[in-house]
Amino acid sequence: MPAALAADAAPANLPSWNDGDVKSAIVDFVTRVTTEGGPDYVAVPDRIAVFDNDGTLWTEQPAYFQALFINDRVRALAPEHPDWKEKEPFASLLKGDVAGVAASGEKGLVELAMATHAGVTTEEFNKIVSDWFATARHPRFDRPYNEITFLPMRELLDYLRANGFKTVSGGGIEFMRPMTEQMYGIPPEQVIGSSITTKYELEGDTPVLMREPTIDFIDDGPGKPVGINKFIGRRPIFAAGNSDGDYEMLRWVTSAPRARFGLIVHHTDGEREWAYDRQSHVGKLDKALTEAPERGWQLVDMKADWNRVYAFEK
Amino acid sequence: MPAALAADAAPANLPSWNDGDVKSAIVDFVTRVTTEGGPDYVAVPDRIAVFDNDGTLWTEQPAYFQALFINDRVRALAPEHPDWKEKEPFASLLKGDVAGVAASGEKGLVELAMATHAGVTTEEFNKIVSDWFATARHPRFDRPYNEITFLPMRELLDYLRANGFKTVSGGGIEFMRPMTEQMYGIPPEQVIGSSITTKYELEGDTPVLMREPTIDFIDDGPGKPVGINKFIGRRPIFAAGNSDGDYEMLRWVTSAPRARFGLIVHHTDGEREWAYDRQSHVGKLDKALTEAPERGWQLVDMKADWNRVYAFEK
């Protein structure tokens, strides 16, 4: 770069990333957008980076963590609902019959979600989620879910923020919000995504927001850019995902003019984490994997690019 | 306060506010929530302040500015829609027949809103709005709309931000977002409120978000706390409004435990701005005015409390 251009980038502190093309591309991008006077300079307010959560910032196996939460909640609530023993999909879930739950289809899954996510105030639900995170443990690693987050991605979040980026993530909004600040340094207002509706009500003379059994918004596929635009109101310059559910987000973010960055976490490590892509029922990565080279999206090969996956590894 | 407690509040720079109860209450509140170790101390991330926009941060007379935008847009688009000359509510609007437009009811108003807000991409709409703000002038003051903002409220926004507050405002999201950073120092992602739906589409091979003629969310009355919770995920500690449409927001914000602040701008100045409250068709302030004393909400008497309303006054 010409001597007149001074990069003011904060140094890349990415110790869990092996040297290689992906790490170089990340550092190069951050340096370019933070180099004042350079052709790719981006003003601080426009430095927005969006991260999918399931499979991108934390593990999504053996099932989405929110599905594991639902499973636990149905069991916890079952004593208050004796009819669930005979009523699908609750009966199958209580018997641990995954195929039976799956047979209830989308309608059944929505019913499970509503039974465990609605009918309480926003503050009650916040406490339910916080308590679950404090006690529940991941079935394979036997550790709290907030430890099943990807250390290299947390380093990446920190690195971007150190360079003036605002980092945003998605997921079930009120499932993620109680935890993201502690886990990722992402405050509640930068968590966007799927939600159910809430309704203003008075409990006696006290206003509350009651969670209603109605879906407000599903944050997946073409809904992702819609949600980002609705919540953030600017097109991000950086997007990270791991599945075809992130395809439209990646397209929308990286098709705008000037410097843009698309990153895909490819789950290639069956030993330390999981290995899956085109055929997976969770986090299927097919179309986005095929198109990554032509679109200029960086593919993270988890096995090769990350020397640590989780912080608890030695 | 005990000598051990040091207030770290940034000084109150509120020159357009006359000394009096409201100004004292504001300064007292900010001092209390920023006094570390004090009983009312609030950590910086929880210092969220929400401001209604129409009638609170800027004028809402002789009509909501977004309605005046709709009026201008229908006229601008009319040559492309010759059928509008015969079709209500467009025909009445083009004739300047306000009563005729009103006779079309809510259905007619929604039709006008959709004809002027949908059918373009988010980026096209952003440009349409920005162009309008650059050229349109307020009918009474003959000045751009961004000058018809209340100087004392802009000072209040600055004062809160200087004390670690995040300031949030509402309104028609994509009508406000192109302007709020410049007008109020509020970035797009802190503008929440009413919106229509958007849809991810490809124009050729380029992804765009197309604005659809469907209402996504109306930010008024009991919808205000719902929208704040959805977008922000925390209950604010400060709320400002000016009408009964802000009643539920004020109740929800100020009913939580610990230090909370509710403020109502009472339009009492028929000379410098407008005077209206209980009987007004725009910004009706009745229930919230009655309950303000018992709820502890501060009533701004525009005529008495503000020595300047707009920055352009001498």
In the numeric block, which tokens belong to residue A313? Answer: 């590894």
Model pLDDT, residue A238: 98
Q: What tens digit of pLDDT does each residue of B30-44 get? A: 999 999 999 999 999
Model pLDDT, residue B3: 42
Mean pLDDT of B98-105: 89
User: In a mutagenesis test of the B interface, which of A189, A210, A217, A234 is the best target, namely the one with the most B β-carbons within 10 Å?
Assistant: A189
Model pLDDT, residue A1: 42
Which segments in chain A show pLDDT lower than 50? 1-4
- The alpha-carbon gap from B119 to the nearest alpha carbon of chain A, in Å, equals 15
Contact B216 A230 (CB under 8 A): yes
Q: What tens digit of pLDDT does each residue of B70-87 get? A: 999 999 999 999 999 999
Model pLDDT, residue A302: 98
Model pLDDT, residue A5: 52
CB B242 within 8 A of CB B283: yes
If residue A241 lies in a helix (H) or strand (E), which one and from where to where? strand A238-241
| Chain A interface residues (partner B, CB cutoff 8 A) | 45, 122, 166, 173-174, 177, 181, 187-191, 195, 197-200, 206-207, 209, 216, 222-223, 225-226, 229-234, 248, 251-252, 255
Contact B232 A188 (CB under 8 A): yes
Domains assigned to chain A: 21-61+142-305 (3.40.50.1000), 65-135 (no CATH)
Model pLDDT, residue A7: 55
Where residue B261 falls (left for φ over 0; alpha for ψ -120 to 50; beta otherwise) is: beta
Model pLDDT, residue A193: 87
Q: What tens digit of pLDDT does each residue of B257-288 get? A: 889 999 999 999 999 999 999 999 899 999 99
Model pLDDT, residue B102: 87
| pLDDT band at residue B178 under the 50/70/90 scheme | very high
pLDDT at B2 over 50: no
| Chain B interface residues (partner A, CB cutoff 8 A) | 45, 122, 166, 173-174, 177, 181, 187-191, 195, 197-200, 206-207, 209, 216, 222-223, 225-226, 229-234, 248, 251-252, 255
Residue from the list B177, B181, B232 with its beta carbon closest to the beta carbon of A189: B232
Q: What tens digit of pLDDT does each residue of B129-171 get? A: 999 999 999 999 999 999 999 999 999 999 999 999 999 998 8
Which chain B residue's Cα is nearest to A232?
B189
Residue from the list A188, A206, A248 with its beta carbon closest to the beta carbon of B234: A188
